[in-house]
Amino acid sequence: MRLPDGVRRYLLHLLERDAAERALDTAEREALDAAAEGRSAKPLPELLRGWVSRATSQMRWKRARPVAAKELADHLSDQYEAFLDSGLDEEAAVQATAREMGDAVETGTQLDRAWRPRPDWVMLGIVLVVAAIGLVLQYSMRSNNDLEWYMFFGRYVAGAVCLLAAYFVDYTILGRHCWLLYGLWAVVGLLLTFGPFRVESMGKLNYLAQWVWFFPVLFAGILFRQRGKGIQGIGVCLLSLLGMWFFATLAPSMAALCVLTVVSCGMLAAAVWRRAFGRRTKGKLMLAASPVLAMALYCLFLFCTDSHIREELAVVLFPQRDAMGNGYQGSVVQNIMFGIPFPFDSSIHSVDAWLWWDGATDWVIMAAKYYWGWAVVLLILVAVVLLLVWGFRIAYRQTGLLARSVCMGVMATFALQTVLYVLQNCGIILIASYGLPLLSYGGLYLCQTMLLLGLLLSAQRSGQLESGLAPLSARSVR
Query: Residue 345 — pLDDT band, cuts 50, 70, 90?
Result: low
**pLDDT (0 to 100) of residue 21:** 42
- Is the Cβ–Cβ distance between 93 and 84 less than 8 Å? yes
Identify the pLDDT of residue 469. 47
Instruction: Give the three-class secondary structure for 339.
Output: coil
Rounded CA gap, 469 and 451, in Å?
A: 27
If one compares 2 and 367, the residue with the highest pLDDT of the two is 367
Higher pLDDT: 107 or 423? It is 423
**d(C-alpha 297, C-alpha 13), whole Å:** 41
Report the pLDDT value the prediction gives residue 324, as an integer from 0 to 100: 80
Query: What percent of the chain has pLDDT above 90?
Result: 43
Of residues 331 and 272, more confidently modeled? 272
Please give the pLDDT value at position 250.
94
pLDDT at 225 (0 to 100): 93
Give residue-wise pLDDT tens across range 124-183. 999 999 999 988 888 887 655 455 667 778 889 999 999 999 998 888 899 989 999 999
Of 32-36, 239-243, 462-466, the least confident: 32-36
| pLDDT reported for residue 272 | 95
As a whole number, the mean pLDDT across the chain is 82
Model pTM score: 0.79
Angle at 379 between CA 374 and CA 381, to 5 degrees: 90
Give the C-alpha separation, 259 to 267, whole Å: 12
How confident is residue 87, by pLDDT bands cut at 50, 70 and 90? confident
Reply yes or no on whether the pLDDT at 339 is more than 60. yes
Angle at 294 between CA 288 and CA 296, to 5 degrees: 110
pLDDT, tens only, 281-327? 999 999 999 999 999 999 999 999 998 889 989 998 898 888 788 88
Q: How far is CA 444 from the centre of its chain?
A: 18
CA angle, 256 then 159 then 407, to 5°: 55
97 pLDDT band, cuts 50/70/90, is confident
